[in-house]
Amino acid sequence: MQRSLRWIGIGLLSTTLSSCGVLRSQLGLNSAQPDKAPPVVSDSPRAAPLQPGDNVIVKAVDRVGPAVVRIDVVKEINNPLGRMFGLGPATQRQQGQGSGFITRSNGLIFTNEHVVRGADKVAVTLPDGRSFTGKVLGGDNLTDVAVVKVVAEELPVATLGDSNNLRPGEWAIAIGNPFGLNNTVTAGIISAVGRTQANNGGGQRVPYIQTDAAVNPGNSGGPLINAAGQVIGMNTFIRAAPGGGLSFAIPINSAKRIAQQIVSTGQASHPYLGVRLRDLTPQLAREINATNPQCKVPEANGVLVVDVEADSPAAAADIRQCDLIRQVNGDKVRNPSEVQIAVDQGQVGEPMQVTLEREGQDVIVEVLPIEIPRNG
């Protein structure tokens, strides 16, 4: 049917064109008029072509790009089948790749902890082709920050900015080595800041920067920079979706704080209170009040204490089950992740003020946090 309709259309078009030709001839409108100028269809004034101006993205990349490195890692993985039954070698080599950026000219490099986790060999390659053997000074799996050191002098350095005052809509430029394509630049904007529930995993202690700049495997550990050529974040993970995805970066102020601890002591320090928390909603509050006569909570949104570990700092400070945490050191908190981030801003062994709501009354307690247990 479609083919027949096409032929019918062509026949009608031929007939119509023939009729139009006769009519134009009768009216003296034949198209062969070489002595006449073409009709005017635009009266816009002529203008000189626009001259290319300074491109802020190019300038920012020129400033930071030389300090962005590729990190290649090799891990030796035990092969139990090979050891027990002779099926292949006893160990197998696993290779990985990520990015990083130099922060000191003597070879100090920031990257993601998951990039160098369990690495037996680390190779660092600069954009100018120079390659060095890297040593992992330490890494923190709670924030995904690691520090690598190479033996070198007078290396190019990336300038660190300030991530405390970022605003959605600002330029966000990512540099890294996605899929092994070295020195790849992508650009977008900061979509949001302070994303406290961006990661599906538990124990979040980072207020992530969300951006629409394209980030892919291999970008991990690379810098997110602003239009001034300053590092404002460290690209760490993506949330993929059909037709697109979201990218998240660790604010550089958080990464710098953790890196300073790693360089000083070999590991990061995280304060620990000893409470288990849950998001409270009006619906959940009604269910709790209807089924648990010993726990009465307001039908509102908040952060509910569902359990207090025995002999923990929280227990010593008289934080109780069914309390609502409203503030930590004067900062309002709205969900468990915000509580963790606020606690992480404190120091182990230094008093921390926590404002609670208990049976409709505000209660202020002082907690003395300890180091988080390393066994989880």
Residue 172 contacts residue 226 (beta carbons within 8 Å): yes
Determine what percent of the chain is predicted with pLDDT higher than 70.
81
Question: Residue 108 carries which side chain, given as an amino acid letter?
Answer: L
Task: Please pick, among 72, 99, 140, 144, the residue that the annotation labels catalytic.
Answer: 144
Rounded mean pLDDT of 352-356? 96
- Condensed to tens digits (0 to 9), the pLDDT of residues 33-88 reads 556 777 766 666 666 666 666 788 999 999 999 999 999 999 887 776 665 555 66
pLDDT computed for residue 16 by the predictor: 43
- Condensed to tens digits (0 to 9), the pLDDT of residues 217-252 reads 899 999 999 999 999 999 998 887 666 678 999 999
Task: Please pick, among 114, 191, 212, 318, the residue that the annotation labels catalytic.
Answer: 114
3-state secondary structure of 130: coil
Residue 330 contacts residue 352 (beta carbons within 8 Å): no
Residue 58 φ/ψ, nearest 5 degrees: -60, -45
Residue 139 contacts residue 99 (beta carbons within 8 Å): no
C-alpha to C-alpha distance for 139 and 112, rounded to whole angstroms: 8
Q: pLDDT class for 161, splitting at 50, 70, 90?
A: very high
179: DSSP letter: G
Q: Residue 270 catalytic?
A: no
Residue 356 contacts residue 365 (beta carbons within 8 Å): yes
- Condensed to tens digits (0 to 9), the pLDDT of residues 283-311 reads 999 999 999 888 889 999 999 999 999 99
Q: Residue 144 catalytic?
A: yes
3-state secondary structure of 265: helix
Q: Residue 114 catalytic?
A: yes
- Exposed, middle or buried, 33 (CB in 10 Å: 0-12/13-18/19+)? exposed
Task: Please pick, among 99, 163, 220, 312, the residue that the annotation labels catalytic.
Answer: 220
